[in-house]
Amino acid sequence: MASLADDAFRWNPTTLIDKQQDSLRQTGSTWGRKSLEGIERLHQDEEARKEVARRLF
């Protein structure tokens, strides 16, 4: 059973902001990881580089 203190913590604006920041941090980490995977693939795969070049130019 949740106590009044638990409810106050759950609805504390600071707690909500922390959750939002955690979500943004996770999104940023995912984006960064996928970017590095793409860069590594381009570094190792000539066909991938050619495909990117075709789309860009």
- pLDDT band for position 47 (50/70/90)? very high
Taking residues 28-57, what's their average pLDDT? Answer: 91
Q: Is the pTM of this model over 0.85?
A: no
C-alpha distance across the termini of the chain, in Å = 62
Which of the pair, 38 or 2, is modelled with greater confidence? 38
Is pLDDT above 70 for 4? no
Structure-token pair, residue 7: 């409810």
* Higher pLDDT among residues 14 and 23, named by residue: 23
- Residue 20, pLDDT score: 74
